[in-house]
Amino acid sequence: MLASKAFELIKELSRGNSGSLSPYNEDCIRQVLDEMKSLYEQNQKDVSDTVAGETGLFSGVQVRHAALERNKRCLLTYLYKRLQIIQEMRWEFGSVLPMDIRYNMCEQEISWFNRYNKMLAVYMRSIGDSGLDLTQDMQPPKSLYIEVRCLKDHGEFETQDGNIIVLKRNNQHFLLRSECEHLIRQGVLEHVTN
């Protein structure tokens, strides 16, 4: 059936759960492109036959053209949706993506990601005097400081104001949220919620 492969791509997109990127389905895309190419060639042939004087081919051309349009729309949707996912991931994971996600991206997507990174960095540097990390607080924080508990012996940790804190298992500290956020992500600290 015409355009069935393209539809498969869309179904694959909708199957993928949010927050993960399925592998770039190059095989399927090439098949769709091949199909489009043959459709186009056939249309060309029919059109040139019509110009030569043959009649009764128009309905065929129209069907093929509609299929072409559909294929195109599906392909673009597929690519665009993937870009959107990658963009979201930039805000979630930061400028360096985990290996398994990178592995699922095609070459063009990687170069797009790098350019997006660069643009974002330039923009964030231009805010205020010394720049502002927009990805830091995705939701407005409730307090500037949070209470954290050390889960492992981490060693010394220098805060922004130059103090040195020893992060040792089972000590509890009251620290600047922005400073300990990455330590919480690493699993060194635990946020104590009251």
Partner 1 sequence: MLVKDPKKEFYDKIQHQRVLILVTFDVDALCACNILQYLFQCDQVLYTVVPVTGKQDLENSFLENSEGIKHILMLNCGATIDIIELLQPDDDVCFYICDSHRPVDVHNVYNGVQVKLLMKDEEMRDIPDYDDVFRDDEDDESDAESNDEGEQLSKRKRYSDEYILKRRERRQWEENRNKTLFEYTQFSSFGSSAALLMFEIAWRMSKDTNDLVWLGIIGVTDQLVHYRISREKYIEDVMTLQSHVSRHNFKEGPENNQPINSLKISFEDELQLTLYRHWSLFESICKSVTTACKFKVWSMKGRKRLHEFLAEMGLPLIQCQQKYSAMEPSLRNNVKELIQKHIEKYGFAPEDIVIPSFNAQYGYRNKLCASDVVLACCALLESPQEKSQNATDSFFQAMDILNRKNTKEMEEALNMAKKQIGALASQVQTFLDMQQVMSAGPFLYAFVQEGTLEAKCLSKPQCLQRLARFTLEAYSAERRSKKTQYLPLVLGVPLDAEQQTSLVIGIPPLNLDDERKNFFGKAFEQAAVTTNSRTLHNYFDNYILQMNTEDRGKFFDALINLLQVSLSLSLSLSLSLSAFICASP
Pairing of strands 189-191, 155-158: unpaired
Closest approach of partner 1 to the CB of residue 166, in Å:
5
166 touching partner 1, by CB under 8 A: yes
Tell me how many residues contact partner 1 (CB under 8 A): 18
Q: Rounded to 5, what percent of the chain is helix, strand, coil?
A: 55, 10, 30
Closer Cβ to partner 1, 30 or 169, answer by number: 169
177 touching partner 1, by CB under 8 A: no
Class of residue 143 by CB neighbours under 10 A (exposed 0-12, middle 13-18, buried 19+):
exposed
Closest CA to 77 of 28, 9, 30: 9
Closest CA to 95 of 140, 135, 141: 135
Please select the residue that binds partner 1; options are 37, 45, 73, 168, rule is CB under 8 A: 168
Please select the residue that binds partner 1; options are 171, 182, 185, 191, rule is CB under 8 A: 171
Please select the residue that binds partner 1; options are 105, 173, 180, 188, rule is CB under 8 A: 173
Closer Cβ to partner 1, 139 or 163, answer by number: 163
Count the alpha carbons within 13 Å of 47 in the hemisphere toward its beta carbon.
10
Site for partner 1 in 83-112 (CB under 8 A): none
Encode 37-106 in three state secondary structure: HHHHHHHHHHHHHHHHCCCCCHHHHHHHHHHHHHHHHHHHHHHHHHHHHHHHHHHHHCCCCCHHHHHCCC
The binding track of 126-165 with respect to partner 1, each residue x by CB under 8 A or -, is -----------------xxx-x-x-------------xxx
Closer Cβ to partner 1, 102 or 149, answer by number: 149
Closer Cβ to partner 1, 130 or 194, answer by number: 194
Please select the residue that binds partner 1; options are 30, 45, 73, 169, rule is CB under 8 A: 169
- Interface residues with partner 1 (CB under 8 A) are 143-145, 147, 149, 163-166, 168-175, 194
